[in-house]
Structure 1
């Protein structure tokens, strides 16, 4: 009888019953600011990577800086994409083909690729300078208004590294 009462008690209170596991873990919500930040970081970094790749085709004094920047940019892209994936949000291409601050256009890349050796580094420096400065602007907006802890942390790193890259870019 005692065993029966314990069994009834377990059944009524659901003690010892396995907890229901949701079929899918809840997704981290991203604010409009977070989404805008991600939507800008991805094309900014990708266009800059294309400019950095040009330094490998020339005898460029920018090659060491380009290698350093490339490492950061690839890691940032992976992080932004991971946050988007975890939130169940697809990557946006809403800025594709746009001539926006911080985006290096196909025409600018072509001009740099066809620049004379004497002009090449200066053209690429100008493109990177603009990209670094605009990346800091975008990062500051995320730091001030973003809600995703991971993206706000990333924005702080972007602001800091772009300041560092700007200083390196200006060294003779």
Structure 2
């Protein structure tokens, strides 16, 4: 009986060590993806996320020091930077470059250079920024839900779910700030 218990303990310990090694190896060197691992929806989502977040980061930097909006802007900016890293990592693992196809577009969720200039010269920077961020958060949720409805690659879908959830939280924070 003791031999059986010892064998089970050793087998479990061996499996745990092997699993830990695999987890470490996977975390350190993610497997390469082929371009076909991502659906058109996945790619479109990532291609749109990058300029949306980048344009929003430029706007978030304009939140006035000491205002109620500044802590919200800092929290949102940290999340956006992390999402950009994730999106760019997906592209890198597929061997794709950022397309840049949406940069500078005047479309929902994108904060334009003209809007940034308007904020900089506004007597109500935080008020204008709130309006732009609200629209950006709402559009980001729309795009994320499209990914959740039609995307196929689990990490990209997870990013979409996270964006949907965080933008709902950001909308609530924006209302409270």
Question: What is the alpha-carbon distance in structure 2 between the residues aligned to residue 112 and residue 145 of structure 1?
Answer: 36
1:45: which partner in 2? 53
Q: What's the TM-score, normalizing by structure 1?
A: 0.81
Aligned residues: 145
Cα offset, 1:27, TM superposition? 2.5
Cα offset, 1:60, TM superposition? 2.7
8 Å contact from structure 2 (residues 55, 112) kept in 1: yes
Structure 1 gaps, min length 5: 1-24
SS of alignment partner, residue 147 of structure 1: coil
Asked if 1:70 corresponds to 2:77, the answer is: yes
Note the aligned Cα RMSD (angstroms): 1.3
SS of alignment partner, residue 64 of structure 1: helix
Q: What's the TM-score, normalizing by structure 2?
A: 0.78
Which of 30, 34, 38 is the equivalent residue of 1:30? 38
Asked if 1:164 corresponds to 2:169, the answer is: yes
Q: Deviations over 1:31-84 (max 9, x none)?
A: 11011001110000000000000115x443211001100110000000000011
Question: What is the alpha-carbon distance in structure 2 between the residues aligned to residue 34 and residue 162 of structure 1?
Answer: 19
Cα offset, 1:171, TM superposition? 1.2
Identify the structure with the greater helix proportion: 2
2:148: which partner in 1? 143
> 1:1-172 alignment to 2 at 5 Å?
27-28=33-34, 29-56=37-64, 58-116=65-123, 119-172=124-177
8 Å contact from structure 2 (residues 33, 93) kept in 1: yes
Question: What is the alpha-carbon distance in structure 2 between the residues aligned to residue 96 and residue 107 of structure 1?
Answer: 13
Query: Bigger radius of gyration, 1 or 2?
Result: 1
Cα offset, 1:26, TM superposition? 5.5
Question: What is the alpha-carbon distance in structure 1 between the residues aligned to residue 107 and residue 74 of structure 2?
Answer: 25
